[in-house]
Chains A and B, each alone.
Chain A
């Protein structure tokens, strides 16, 4: 049986791991290669590296770090941040990244998703979407969540799927940094309306939140940062509790 994935996310700035609380007020949580190795040993199913400085400042994700991670880590990982062309993706995959995630650049030029899917296959194209619920609507935001667009989360996600996205990484800006749980209603709707895997992101504070993301949100994977980086939740404990809740996990 395909298991639900637990994905620590390492936000990267200047080669170091950071975690933005509501995308502001960064805290340093260590060396990405060391953290990645630790997470592989602790039972993480996958890792995501997001160069959070990339979109805001036009900085490219450091290929050196990707190469080092690929050398030392025996689980898959995704790299995101500032990716806007076939050449960017080609360089990352050649350094050993398994998947890339695109966000603002795909909103600016949706054909990018088609180009990447045609060239490298859908399986390595994750479309990351930051969205904020304003009244009843989920509005997609860009540039690290700072600029609202006119796009609706669900229609944009469906378009991304149609264009060849292999999975959707949905971050709820209402939930991110709150530790009050994932945006389960929106997740469930995404999972219902799309036929590609959905990664839940934003709001993890305790183990029950992960149970809910899988049971109520029907997410295929759940991503979190600070609860893992600061050892507030151990991945082994989390997976044991998920299993006790009859959720398929790799233990």
Chain B
């Protein structure tokens, strides 16, 4: 199986590569459109600030490529948020796969949310064998609103979409590569989609 992690200069991608290695798979880091198109599975990572990440995507023309992909694509953290319609962070227009807005947490909670929280209302094969209320590691100041495309929700001041799916596109707000054994199970499930 050919796994490509999109390398557009945003954040900690080594950890995702290592997580696949622990599962026994070699994932390739690439920003080459042909290589990404030819992959069986594509990981769209992202850590950092939305508008500068989107700028980097545009500079490498990957913003046009990603929505045309037909194999399973998994957006992680900011990667998931960039697959949404728009985000309040830097007033950034997203790739528009998921029909949902990304908003900043209100100051009634500490921002960023940082740490382990539970995922509920699990609705996809991505979560096969994962128990309701499993703990995942999250670090984020912006969240996708709960919506029809939500396949998991998390509570932090309010219930929001901590995972999304539309067709072959999946997105998770949490970091499966940093979420212990359960997180690795989710990555394994993604490879089996």
Which residues from chain A sit less than 8 Å from chain B, CB to CB? 1-5, 40, 45-46, 67, 70-72, 74-76, 93-99, 118-124, 166-167, 195-197, 220-221, 250
Contacts and interface: CB of A to CB of B under 8 A. Distances in A.
Interface in B132-149: 135, 137, 139-141
A182 B17 CA distance: 38
B56 to A, nearest CB: 12
Given A74-B178, A121-B49, A124-B47, A1 B14 contact: no
A123 B110 contact: no
Nearest to A92: B12
The list of the 4 closest CB pairs from A to B, nearest first, reads A96-B14, A121-B48, A123-B139, A250-B116
A98 B116 contact: no
B179 interface: yes
B114 interface: yes
Nearest to B135: A250
A217 B170 CA distance: 39
B114 A123 contact: yes
Nearest to A93: B12
Contacts of B110: 195-197, 220
Given A93-B12, A97-B12, A196-B110, 7 more contacts: A46-B115, A70-B15, A94-B12, A98-B15, A120-B11, A121-B47, A121-B49
A68 B27 CA distance: 17
Given A124-B47, A220-B110, A96 B115 contact: no
Contact of B112 (A40, A72, A98, A196): A196
Contacts, number: 105
A75 B118 CA distance: 15
Contacts of B111: 195-196
Contacts of B175: 76
B18 A96 contact: yes
A95 B184 CA distance: 19
Interface-centre pick from B111, B114, B155 (highest chain A CB count, 10 A): B114
B178 A5 contact: no
Given A40-B180, A74-B22, A123 B137 contact: no
Contact of A118 (B49, B114, B156): B49
B18 A5 contact: no
Interface string B148-159: 000000011000
B156 A2 contact: yes
Nearest to B117: A2
A223 B88 CA distance: 33
B141 A96 contact: no
Contacts of A250: 116, 135
Given A74-B180, A123-B140, A197-B110, A5 B115 contact: yes
Contacts of A2: 113, 115-117, 156
B117 A75 contact: no
Contact of B179 (A3, A74, A123): A74
A166 B48 CA distance: 12
B114 A75 contact: no
A94 B10 CA distance: 10
A72 B137 CA distance: 17
25 contacts: A2-B116, A2-B117, A3-B135, A46-B115, A67-B14, A74-B22, A74-B178, A74-B179, A75-B179, A76-B178, A93-B12, A94-B14, A96-B18, A97-B12, A98-B178, A120-B47, A120-B48, A121-B11, A122-B141, A123-B114, A124-B47, A166-B114, A195-B107, A196-B110, A220-B115
A220 B175 CA distance: 19
Most buried by B among A123, A166, A197: A123
A93 B16 CA distance: 12
Nearest to B107: A195
A5 B110 CA distance: 14
Contact of B141 (A1, A5, A123): A123
Contacts of B107: 195
